[in-house]
Chains A and B, each alone.
Chain A
Amino acid sequence: MKQAHQSESEPLWKDEFSIESAHETIVNRRQFTKFLTLTSLGMFVGNLWILSKTWFDKQSLFPKTVIAKADEVPIGAVKLFRYPTEADPCIMVRTSQDQFVAYSQKCTHLSCPVHYSQKTGQIECPCHEGSFSLHTGEVLKGPPPRPLPRIVLEKKDGLLLAIGIDIQNE
């Protein structure tokens, strides 16, 4: 009991720098355990950060943005726009009289801007020859790992509106 009291009242440095070699082995192990625990804390904070980002993303709903007048885009033509922010380039293609498709213009491989090729009828990426289906955004060829995120469109009073993004995971 007396000894226990003594060790508690010892200065802190004696805890960390033991003068006895036998005790030093234990100190080293304890310090390593402490390091691992702090690493674990860091990773827990990382997971909390991901959780908070998810919550924040869920709360920020996509705005409704007018892209174009429906009749100003001819069939087979392309309209570029930005959605949901100015930093997000997107591409819209009119595929028939009353069908429009729109995708993020960033390739899911390394973010090169994709374009619509009338010759092949596909959305293509010039960087590594990836190509995506015009109708679904699915990967048809090349290194892109995921389909293009699809921009959800709405037609209202002759106007085309972007109302959301469908990430389209496989």
Chain B
Amino acid sequence: MNNYKHDTRSRSRRQYMVAIDGALALNAILVIVQMWLLTASLEAYLSGHKDSALPGAVFSGLLFAGTMGLYIFVRRLERQAKDKGF
């Protein structure tokens, strides 16, 4: 019985960790894409292509919203894990 309890508990904790790790990995991918976007926008700006500045800023904003959302998600998971005593 005790073993069963321990198993359920550890599986849940593993699930939290997988979710958090997934969010973290996705966050890192978004940041890498955003880094590329910033470099491309700067390159375009310096070579006189001014039309790409607006779409660049909009996409960058969306990527930031994504990373912010993931951060909030991780925070929420952390709270839940803490409340469950993991």
Q: Which residues of A contact B (CB under 8 A)?
A: 3-4, 7, 22-23, 25-27, 29-30, 32-34, 36-37, 39-41, 43-44, 46-48, 50-51, 53-54, 57-58, 146, 167, 169
| Bound Cα distance from A97 to B71, whole angstroms | 68
Taking Cβ atoms with an 8 Å cutoff, the residues of B that contact A are: 13, 16-17, 20-21, 23-24, 27-28, 30-31, 34-35, 37-38, 41-42, 45, 47-50, 53-54, 56-57, 60-61, 63-64, 67-68, 70-71, 74-75, 77-79, 81-83, 85-86
Q: Complex: how many Å from CA A154 to CA B32?
A: 47
CB distance from A108 to the nearest CB of B (A): 9
By a CB distance below 8 angstroms, the chain B residues around A7 are: 79, 82-83
Q: Are A43 and B20 in contact (CB under 8 A)?
A: no
Given A40-B67, A51-B53, CB of A22 within 8 Å of CB of B86: yes
Name A167's contact: one of B24, B48, B54, B83 (CB within 8 Å): B48
CB–CB B27/A46 < 8 A: no
A50-B24 in contact given A4-B83, A27-B78, A44-B64 (Cβ < 8 Å): no
Q: Is the interface of A mostly helix, strand, loop or mixed?
A: helix
Smallest CB-CB separation from A40: which chain B residue? Answer: B67
Contact A23 B82 (CB under 8 A): yes
- Pick the 4 closest A-B CB pairs, nearest first: A167-B48, A47-B60, A40-B67, A54-B53
CA distance A167 to B21 in the complex (A): 47
What are the residues of chain A within 8 A of B48 when measuring CB–CB? Answer: 167, 169
Complex Cα–Cα for A16 and B39 (A): 33
